[in-house]
């Protein structure tokens, strides 16, 4: 028995030492960065700049200024090229924003790049040299949605990328189904899952009602956080803010999407309540970073695209007449860069989160709940080991209407709303009530 205990202790120590050896000071910086960001497809930049009659880099600066004004402090830029890396990093640095470059030259899940270490070393060293000493680089994204079948190769790439001179950690974004494998079988210090729950009504390919969509998102954001924390990693999430039409579609003069006859709607745009709900639900689960998919919409619509003719949808799903999708632009902003209603919600919510960042940074879920919510709501209990504070995150699961939720407390003390600084007095049965916006949330802490 004693030998078994000693063996287990030695194994734990070796595991910790091996994990620490794989990490460096920049991994610690990454773990405490708590980015409030957006995902930005670089291949859309030129087209949008041309559409709006603006020079490319002037358009980029306008977008970055717009993000900064909306409380976005980090950008995950996909399909960026090495040539544009440092100019973009410099512009991010000037605005005190962080950059996660996902370079087109480095994306691993392309068949001819698999195990092509000679090519990858050459391109990686070029990228690292181009970045130089830029303080804007937060991490390097080496792949978009690598499948579980190449998890071992991605771990090799992560390690080699550090050996080739990278000063910042490498990361990937994974689908919700592959995320557990990357949490358990790699030394990536951040686990980032993209979770896009809002499929069109009746869609046979995913959760197709508001309640099923919410259940899918919450289940997988909780799973992501659980797998990350249990494996000594930091959980990030990419929530959904887009609409996806297969087949012909067109923009209105206001930049909203119209599904044309012969098309099918795959993902639908979330409502403002659903947008707010995704963000608060993420924090209540213990997520430590957000990159909303997707900032800019497609540059061009496709009114002359062929009608959808695949097998993923039955013929009955084909749109029969021109159908406006209100407030759906394919992204967070319109093609002219102006805000959507969802963008206003993102901005206000990110502003609230930035005020809670010190409290939330490093907080992890704990099983012993500090209360129980009644009605259509969710309660998460988080503990911050650095500050020693334990607090409650409450979320309104009604994404259509404001709702007053009752929280039955486990301690006989009043609680404080950490955003408003309001003391919520208890009733005789040790319950407090709090009114939240559609999909909204609050952070509560017991008054000493």
- Residues 208 and 163 sit within 8 Å (Cβ to Cβ): no
Per-residue confidence at 10, pLDDT binned at 50, 70, 90? Answer: very low
**Does the pLDDT value for residue 15 go beyond 70?**
no
- Residues 386 and 430 sit within 8 Å (Cβ to Cβ): no
pLDDT average, residue stretch 356-364? 96
Q: What is the pLDDT of residue 34?
A: 98
Q: Is 223 left (phi over 0), alpha (psi -120 to 50) or beta?
A: alpha
**Does the pLDDT value for residue 174 go beyond 90?**
yes
Tens digits of residue pLDDT in 250-268: 999 999 999 999 999 999 9
Q: Output the pTM of the full model.
A: 0.94
Residue 51 CA to residue 335 CA, distance in Å, equals 8
Residue 410 CA to residue 277 CA, distance in Å, equals 25
Residue 135 CA to residue 420 CA, distance in Å, equals 34
Q: What is the pLDDT of residue 24?
A: 64
Q: What is the pLDDT of residue 2?
A: 39
pLDDT average, residue stretch 260-281? 98
Q: What is the pLDDT of residue 23?
A: 53
Q: Which domains does the chain have, with CATH numbers?
A: 20-359 (3.20.20.80), 366-446 (2.60.40.1180)
**Does the pLDDT value for residue 358 go beyond 60?**
yes
List beta partners, residue 396.
377
Please tell me what DSSP assigns to residue 44.
G
Q: What is the pLDDT of residue 190?
A: 98
**Does the pLDDT value for residue 357 go beyond 60?**
yes
**Does the pLDDT value for residue 19 go beyond 70?**
no
Per-residue confidence at 170, pLDDT binned at 50, 70, 90? Answer: very high
Tens digits of residue pLDDT in 416-429: 999 999 999 999 99
Q: What is the pLDDT of residue 8?
A: 32
296 closest CA partner among 325, 337, 248, 324: 337
Q: What is the pLDDT of residue 27?
A: 86
Tens digits of residue pLDDT in 99-151: 999 999 999 999 999 999 999 999 999 999 999 999 999 999 999 999 999 99
pLDDT average, residue stretch 33-62? 98
Q: What is the pLDDT of residue 141?
A: 98
The mean predicted confidence, pLDDT, of the chain is 94
DSSP code per residue over 324-364 = EETT--SSSB-TTSPBPHHHHHHHHHHHHHHHHHHHHTT-E
Please tell me what DSSP assigns to residue 307.
P
**Does the pLDDT value for residue 411 go beyond 70?**
yes
**Does the pLDDT value for residue 203 go beyond 90?**
yes
State the maximum Cα–Cα separation within the chain, in Å, rounded to a whole number: 75
Q: What is the pLDDT of residue 25?
A: 73
More confident residue, 27 or 415: 415
Residue 189 CA to residue 352 CA, distance in Å, equals 26
Q: What is the pLDDT of residue 437?
A: 98
Tell me whether strands 415-417 and 441-446 are parallel, antiparallel or unpaired. Answer: antiparallel
Per-residue confidence at 40, pLDDT binned at 50, 70, 90? Answer: very high
């Amino acid at each position: 028995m004693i030998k078994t205990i000693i063996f287990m202790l030695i194994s734990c120590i070796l595991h910790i030492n091996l994990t620490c050896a794989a990490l460096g000071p920049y991994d610690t910086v990454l773990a405490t960065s708590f980015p409030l960001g957006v995902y930005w497809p670089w291949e859309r930049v030129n087209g949008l700049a041309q559409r709006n009659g603006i020079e490319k880099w002037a358009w980029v600066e306008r977008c970055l200024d717009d993000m900064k004004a909306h409380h976005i402090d980090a950008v995950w830029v996909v399909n960026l090229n090495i040539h544009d890396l440092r100019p973009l990093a410099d512009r991010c640095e000037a605005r005190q924003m962080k950059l996660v470059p996902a370079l087109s030259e480095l994306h691993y899940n392309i068949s001819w790049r698999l195990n092509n270490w000679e090519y990858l070393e050459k391109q990686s060293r070029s990228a690292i040299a181009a970045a130089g000493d830029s303080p804007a680089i937060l991490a390097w994204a080496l792949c978009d949605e690598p499948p579980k079948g190449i998890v071992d190769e991605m771990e090799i790439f992560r390690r080699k990328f550090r050996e080739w001179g990278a000063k910042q950690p490498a990361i990937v974004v994974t689908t919700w189904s592959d995320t557990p494998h990357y949490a358990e079988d790699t030394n990536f210090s951040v686990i980032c899952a993209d979770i896009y729950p809002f499929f069109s009504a009746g869609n046979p390919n995913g959760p197709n009602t508001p309640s099923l969509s919410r259940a899918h998102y919450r289940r997988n954001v909780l799973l992501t956080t659980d797998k990350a924390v249990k494996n000594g990693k930091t959980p990030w999430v990419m929530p959904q803010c887009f609409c996806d039409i297969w087949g012909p579609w067109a923009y209105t003069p206001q930049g909203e999407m119209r599904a044309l006859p012969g098309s099918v709607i795959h993902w639908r745009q979330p409502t403002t309540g659903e947008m707010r709900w995704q963000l608060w639900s993420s924090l209540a689960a213990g997520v430590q970073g957000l990159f909303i998919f997707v900032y800019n919409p497609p540059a061009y619509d496709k009114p002359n695209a062929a009608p959808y003719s695949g097998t993923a949808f039955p013929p009955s799903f084909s749109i029969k007449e021109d159908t406006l999708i209100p407030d759906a632009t394919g992204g967070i902003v319109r093609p002219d860069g102006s805000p959507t209603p969802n963008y206003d919600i993102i901005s206000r919510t990110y502003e609230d989160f930035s005020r809670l960042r010190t409290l939330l940074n490093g907080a992890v879920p704990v099983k012993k709940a500090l209360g129980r919510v009644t009605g259509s709501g969710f309660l998460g209990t988080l503990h911050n080991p650095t500050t020693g504070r334990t607090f409650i995150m409450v979320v309104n699961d009604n994404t259509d209407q404001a709702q007053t939720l009752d929280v039955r407390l486990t301690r006989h003390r009043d609680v404080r709303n950490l955003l408003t600084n309001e003391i919520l007095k208890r009733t005789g049965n040790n319950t407090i009530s709090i009114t939240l916006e559609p999909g909204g949330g609050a952070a509560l802490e017991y008054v000493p």
